[in-house]
Chains A and B, each alone.
Chain A
Amino acid sequence: MSIRSYLRRILRLAIRHVLNWGINSALFWAIMAIFFGGIIHITVIMSLPYLSDHDAWHRLNSKNQLNLPTNRLVAFTSSSSNPMPLPYMTTDIRYAVCLYDLSQGDLLIQADLLDDYWSIAIYTRYGQNYYMINGSDIRRSQVELLLTAKTKSKGVFLGTAPSKNEETGDDLIKVNALDKQGIIMIRAPLLGDAFAERAEQSLKNASCNLQQSTDTTTTIQ
C-alpha cells in the first residue's frame, strides 16, 4: 500500500470518527487543537533562530559545510563564485567574511573602502546587523575598526560615523559587540567587470585579527 493511499485511509477513519462525536465534543477538541496549534506555532517561530542549522553562522562555520576559521578574514574571489557560501550572494559584489569570537580578546579589522558604497557590516551570531559603515561615512579610504566585547573607555560608541579618538588621537573606530560571536562581512560592489581585480586585491589586503595576532587574509580560490 502506498503512503498516499495509507494517508487517505487514515483521513477517512478520522472523518468518520469526528462524525461520531457530538457537536459539543467536536467543538471542544477543535478549540483545544487551535489553542495548542497556536502554542506550537509560537514555539517554532521563537525557537527557529536558535535551532536552525541553515542560518548564515552554521553555513559558514559548520564542519559539514564551509568550516571557515574564526577571527580571520576570508575573501571570496570570482573563481569561487559558485556555489556562493550564502543564498542570494551576487557575482557583481566581491565579499570577504570574518567569523569572530571575542572570548580571546578584541578584534582589529583593517580594510580599504575604495568607493562610497563599499561597506563593512557587523552581525550578531543570529544575523542581526548591529553596526555598519560604508565608504561615504569616512574621510579616507582606510578603515581601522576595533571590535570589543565590552566597554573599555568613554570613546566607545556604536553605529555612528568615525571621529578622532580623544585618547589616542588616531582614527580608530571602536565598536561594542552585541554578542561575543558573530559575523563581519565586507562588501565591495563592482562598477563593472574591469573593477573586479581591484576589489579582490583590496579584500585580500584587508584583515581581521585578534589584537595580539599577526594572521593575514585567507583567500578561497
Chain B
Amino acid sequence: MAFFANLILFLALSMTIGLGTAWYTLEKGLPITTRQVGPWKIWYEAGKVGSDPYTNAFVSRSGWLPMTSTHALYYIAKTDSKNRKISANCTYKLTGKPIAADWWSLGLFDEKGHIIENKAKRYAFNSANTLRKIDGTFTIWLSQKVHSGNWLPLTKGDENSLVMRIFGPQKADDAQAENLIEKNLPVIERISCQ
C-alpha cells in the first residue's frame, strides 16, 4: 500500500515538475531563447531553420509564423514598463524614438493574439502613418476614450499585448545597430486607471 502511495505521489510530482517547467519556459521564455528589453520580449531564433527546441515549441504552440530576425524583428509586450498587465481599464502613453528600419508597425492584440475590434477601426500604427515630431519621436495613446493624435482603442480585456514588428532592420546582423533599435523601442507608461 505504501509503495503505491509513493508511486502515485512520485508520478504526480514528476508530472508537475515536467509539465510545469515546460509551460513556464514557453510562456515566459528563458535567457537563452528570449531577450527582454524593458517590457518588450523577443524570441530571437523564431522562424530560423535549426533554431533551438524551445523556440520551435513556442512557435508551434502559438501558431505564429514569423520571418527570421535577419529580415524582421518582433517584440512583444504584455505589460507596461513597470511590469503591470495592459488592461482596458487604463490609459497608456507609448513614447518612442526613431526606429532604423525600412518599415515598422505597432499593433494592439488581445490575449490570444487577435486584433481588438473597435468602432474606429484602428488596430495598429506604422512608420508611414504615425504622427511624429520634428525630431522623429512619437507618442501613441492606448485608452477606451477617444484621444487626439495617434490613438489605439483599448476596448476590452486585462491581458492585452502590443507587438512591434520591424521589417528590414538596418544592419540587423550588426549588434550595435540592433542595440540602437532596442534602445528606441517605445516606453509604455500607465497614465491612469478607472
Q: Which residues of A contact B (CB under 8 A)?
A: 14, 17-18, 21, 25, 29-30, 32-34, 36-41, 43-46, 48-49, 52, 54-56, 58-59, 81-84, 86-88, 90-93, 116-117, 119, 121, 123-124, 126-130, 132, 134, 136, 178, 183, 185, 187, 189-193
Which residue of chain B is the closest to A133 with respect to CB atoms? B71
- Contact between chains at A37 and B114 (CB < 8 Å): no
What is the interface of chain B mostly: helix, strand, loop, or mixed? mixed
Q: Which residues of B contact A (CB under 8 A)?
A: 5-6, 9-10, 12-19, 21-22, 25-26, 47-51, 53-54, 56-57, 59-68, 70-71, 74, 76, 102-103, 105, 107, 109, 112-115, 117, 123-126, 128-129, 163, 165, 167-168
- Contact between chains at A88 and B113 (CB < 8 Å): yes
- Contact between chains at A48 and B57 (CB < 8 Å): yes
- Contact between chains at B17 and A126 (CB < 8 Å): no
Contacts of B113 in A (CB 8 A): 86-88
- 23 chain-A/chain-B pairs, Cβ below 8 angstroms: A32-B14, A36-B10, A40-B19, A41-B21, A45-B54, A46-B57, A49-B57, A49-B60, A54-B61, A58-B63, A81-B115, A81-B123, A82-B114, A87-B62, A87-B113, A91-B107, A92-B107, A117-B168, A119-B71, A126-B56, A127-B66, A128-B50, A132-B71
Cα-based distance from A38 to B61 in the complex (angstroms): 20
Choice from B19, B50, B51 contacting A44 with Cβ under 8 Å: B19
Cα-based distance from A121 to B48 in the complex (angstroms): 12
- Contact between chains at A191 and B128 (CB < 8 Å): yes
Contacts of B109 in A (CB 8 A): 87-88
Q: Are A52 and B61 CB-contacts (below 8 A) given A29-B6, A117-B167, A192-B129?
A: yes
Contacts of B76 in A (CB 8 A): 88
Q: Are A41 and B102 CB-contacts (below 8 A) given A29-B10, A127-B65, A189-B126?
A: no
Given pairs A29-B13, A88-B163, A136-B102, 5 additional interface contacts (CB within 8 A): A25-B6, A45-B53, A126-B56, A127-B47, A190-B128
- Contact between chains at B47 and A129 (CB < 8 Å): yes
Question: Closest 10 A-B residue pairs measured CB to CB?
Answer: A40-B18, A87-B113, A37-B17, A33-B13, A36-B14, A48-B57, A129-B47, A191-B128, A52-B60, A55-B60
Choice from A43, A49, A55, A121 contacting B67 with Cβ under 8 Å: A121
- Contact between chains at A91 and B14 (CB < 8 Å): no
Which residue of chain B is the closest to A39 with respect to CB atoms? B18
- Contact between chains at B123 and A91 (CB < 8 Å): yes
Cα-based distance from A14 to B22 in the complex (angstroms): 24
- Contact between chains at B60 and A37 (CB < 8 Å): no
Q: For the complex formed, measure the closest distance between the CB of A72 and the CB atoms of chain B, giving whole angstroms.
A: 18
Cα-based distance from A17 to B125 in the complex (angstroms): 58
Choice from B60, B112, B114, B126 contacting A127 with Cβ under 8 Å: B60
Q: For the complex formed, measure the closest distance between the CB of A152 and the CB atoms of chain B, giving whole angstroms.
A: 21
Choice from B22, B50, B68, B107 contacting A45 with Cβ under 8 Å: B22
Q: For the complex formed, measure the closest distance between the CB of A13 and the CB atoms of chain B, giving whole angstroms.
A: 9
Q: For the complex formed, measure the closest distance between the CB of A130 and the CB atoms of chain B, giving whole angstroms.
A: 5
Cα-based distance from A164 to B71 in the complex (angstroms): 24
Q: Are A91 and B124 CB-contacts (below 8 A) given A38-B18, A81-B115, A127-B59?
A: yes
